[in-house]
Structure 1
Amino acid sequence: MTLDHVYRRLMACYPRAYRRQYEDEMIGVLLDDAAPDQRRPAARDVLALLGGALRAHVRQAGARFSADPWREAAQALALIAALTLFVRAARVPVLHLAMLAQSYPGGIGEPVVLWPGGPVAVLWLIVAVLAVVGWARAAAAVAVCGATFEVVRVAADYGQYSTVFHLWPAVLAAMIPLALVVRAPRSAGAALARWRLGTLVAATLVSVAAPSVALVTGADNATAPIYGTWIFTAGVGRIEAILLTAGYLLFALAILSTPAVLRRRLLALVVPVAATLLLTRVGLGSTGTFLERSTHDGVLAALTPAQWLVLVLAPALFFAVAVAILHHRERSGSRIA
């Protein structure tokens, strides 16, 4: 293999557009600097080429993510994620209020303990409202508080029970302030349009109220609980399951009905959360899985370093693959057009 072939193989690490513009020129310079009988590139040249390839990919990725569609997708994701976490935090406090109201028809009449779900739900609701009106920086500041709570709660669960079952909300919460600090030409409300905002509001109300409606109507008293690893992690009645499913479908409708450019990026941004959910619910959440964990006296053992590595790197890898597929499809579509 000639020195020219070796350099061209190293140049294959660079982005395609970069190679088209600079490959021949760079190889020419490297060959001119080489010794007459040199067959292998010098170590410093290999390191320089690989380092340059990494910088070129980083610059290319930065240029892609700085485009307006990615910025608007980040704002939309922040809004949808905040509403999702609001639903998750608000269902139990609202159910508690419904139980008290049912027990005391004349009024609650006594203090209600809503910690910690109530304050956390209020935080995420504030984030969602601020994101809709375009106050992204203020929303990001509030989101940091909510994300801190989610991370602390997951850390406490892991410290006490060695479980990462509820890691995905912490990942989603951590993404919200990062998404909100990205400057976009339009707010999340403007990017999603009014009817989609209405759909998201309806989805939020239905999902939050589902347990309370089932309780107040008493329709689920005679039905067997429904369980499911993915959707219903605790037993729910039939009416509650129907309402929750309707809420989830409304969330899906709001996302899938967005313009294709925005929808693809929204789905790509959700991939790390979905990968975390997959790993923690089917992989690392319990025993008897493809990443099985041992137990001691019925308590899960701590994650091994290899399992932590998978848990950290897999979502990032899946996200990179999703972005690569997205841009490949869009490039192919633009060529056909």
Structure 2
Amino acid sequence: MTLQQVYRWLLACYPRAYRRQYEDELIGVLLDDAAPGQRKPLARDVSALLGGACRAHIRQVGTRFSVDAWRDAAQVFGLIAALLLFVRSARVPVLHLSMYAQSYPDGIGEPFVLWPHGLGAALWLVVAVFTVFAWGGAAAAIAVGGVAFEVVRVAEAYGYYSTVFDIWPVVLAAMIPLALALALRAPRPVTAVLTRWRLGTLAAATLVSVGAPSVALVSAADVSTWPIYGTWIFTSGVGRVEAILLIAGYLLFALVVLSTPTALRLRLLALVVPVGVTLLLTRVGLRTTGTFLQRTSHDDVLDALTWAQWSTLVLAPVVLFAVAVAILHRLERSGPQQA
């Protein structure tokens, strides 16, 4: 392989648009600086080229995400994600309040059971409300606290049981402050992006999902009778009434996303990719037998994840999100979507 071929191979790491504009010029400069008879590039040249490729890709990503369509999608995603995490945390306190109102023997429940769920629900509800009122900076700052809360919850479960079954809320939570920070310079508030009927649908979805266990309780449908075990409702062991209401709530959330204009909808679906990948890995992949994702156990206690499994959990959502964004960019370049 000649020196020029090696340089072209290194320049292949740069974005295509950058190569079209600068490749021949860069190769000419590099060959002019090379010593007579030189067969291999110098280490400093390799380092400079690879570093330049990384910077070029970062600038390209920044340029893509700086467009108004991504900022609109980011604030809509931040609102919906905050509401979903609010639903997940608020269902337990609301259920115990219903039990208290119905004079159940267990009353309102033990404080150590209620306060973590109540704290999480309060944090994510504030984030959602601040997002609606276009207080993006404050919402992003509070969301950072919400991320820490979700990390602690998952870390405690992993410390006791080595389980990562519910690690998806951490991924979803971690994306919220990033999305809200990106949306700080959005051209219009989230209320204008979604319109009134979609905001009303989000409110209805939240109320239906949060109130699902309470409605099942008040309707005298015992949540322990005919339990449904399924990862598709993000919980397990719930009664049929509660499962139906949860599904209805999720469908309303999905309706809001799928009813948005094409450019916004495609970006929202791309933003969901990391959470979807995490769900598949933790609820399907880590149960697969005969692969490096297989979980081992001793005396019915799961062993800790290996470094390869942790690497997969961390890198796979990031890589597939990047792939989704690249596919979206290519689709829009080949045929611009009409908003």
Q: TM (normalized to structure 1)?
A: 0.91
Q: CA deviation at 1:223?
A: 5.7
Distance in 2 separating the partners of 1:300 and 1:110:
33
Distance in 2 separating the partners of 1:262 and 1:167:
27
Q: CA deviation at 1:220?
A: 5.4
Change (3 A) 1:50 1:226: same
User: 2:224, 2:237 within 8 Å by CA — same for their partners in 1?
Assistant: no
Change (3 A) 1:21 1:109: closer
**Letter of the 1:218 counterpart:** A
Q: CA deviation at 1:246?
A: 0.9
Change (3 A) 1:221 1:276: closer
User: 2:96, 2:107 within 8 Å by CA — same for their partners in 1?
Assistant: no
Distance in 1 separating the partners of 2:156 and 2:107:
34
Partner of residue 267 from structure 1, selected from 257, 266, 269: 269
Distance in 1 separating the partners of 2:336 and 2:129:
37
**Letter of the 1:162 counterpart:** S
Partner residue of 2:333? 331
Distance in 1 separating the partners of 2:176 and 2:197:
23
**Letter of the 1:246 counterpart:** A
Query: After the TM superposition, which residues 151-162 of structure 1 pair with which residues of structure 2 at under 5 Å, given as runs?
Result: 151-162=151-162
User: 1:295, 1:301 within 8 Å by CA — same for their partners in 2?
Assistant: yes
Distance in 1 separating the partners of 2:108 and 2:336:
64
Q: CA deviation at 1:301?
A: 0.7
Distance in 1 separating the partners of 2:33 and 2:294:
54
Distance in 2 separating the partners of 1:188 and 1:148:
25
Partner residue of 1:306? 308
RMSD: 2.4
Partner residue of 2:176? 176
Change (3 A) 1:2 1:158: same
**Letter of the 1:86 counterpart:** F
**Letter of the 2:73 counterpart:** A
**Letter of the 1:277 counterpart:** L
Structure 1 residue matching 2:37: 3-state secondary structure = coil
Query: After the TM superposition, which residues 84-103 of structure 1 pair with which residues of structure 2 at under 5 Å, given as runs?
Result: 84-103=84-103
Partner residue of 1:143? 143
Change (3 A) 1:218 1:54: same
CA deviation map 1:281-316 (0-9, x unaligned)? 1133x5747411111211111111111111111111
CA deviation map 1:60-114 (0-9, x unaligned)? 111111222112211111100110011101111111111221227xxx9989843
Distance in 2 separating the partners of 1:117 and 1:324:
37
Query: After the TM superposition, which residues 88-127 of structure 1 pair with which residues of structure 2 at under 5 Å, given as runs?
Result: 88-103=88-103, 113=111, 114-127=114-127
Q: CA deviation at 1:216?
A: 0.8
Alignment of 1:229 onto 2:231: yes
Change (3 A) 1:245 1:89: same
Distance in 1 separating the partners of 2:51 and 2:110:
59
Change (3 A) 1:203 1:35: same
Q: Tell which deviates more after alignment, 135-144 or 216-225.
A: 216-225
Gaps spanning 5+ residues in structure 2: where? none
Change (3 A) 1:22 1:111: closer
User: 1:226, 1:232 within 8 Å by CA — same for their partners in 2?
Assistant: no
Structure 2 residue matching 1:129: 3-state secondary structure = helix
Gaps spanning 5+ residues in structure 1: where? none
Change (3 A) 1:99 1:289: farther
Partner residue of 2:205? 203
Change (3 A) 1:133 1:330: same
User: 1:283, 1:292 within 8 Å by CA — same for their partners in 2?
Assistant: yes
User: 2:162, 2:302 within 8 Å by CA — same for their partners in 1?
Assistant: yes
User: 2:223, 2:238 within 8 Å by CA — same for their partners in 1?
Assistant: no
Distance in 2 separating the partners of 1:3 and 1:145:
52
Distance in 2 separating the partners of 1:111 and 1:11:
63
User: 2:6, 2:40 within 8 Å by CA — same for their partners in 1?
Assistant: yes
Distance in 2 separating the partners of 1:315 and 1:158:
20
Partner residue of 2:217? 215
Aligned length: 331
Structure 1 residue matching 2:115: 3-state secondary structure = coil
Structure 1 residue matching 2:304: 3-state secondary structure = coil
User: 2:132, 2:189 within 8 Å by CA — same for their partners in 1?
Assistant: yes
Distance in 1 separating the partners of 2:109 and 2:226:
32
Structure 2 residue matching 1:165: 3-state secondary structure = coil
Partner of residue 252 from structure 2, selected from 247, 250, 269: 250
Change (3 A) 1:218 1:288: farther
Change (3 A) 1:219 1:152: closer
Change (3 A) 1:112 1:228: closer
User: 1:82, 1:124 within 8 Å by CA — same for their partners in 2?
Assistant: yes
Taking only the aligned residue pairs, the percentage that are identical comes to 72
**Letter of the 2:58 counterpart:** V
Q: Tell which deviates more after alignment, 216-225 or 82-91.
A: 216-225
CA deviation map 1:232-252 (0-9, x unaligned)? 531222222221111111000
Change (3 A) 1:29 1:221: closer
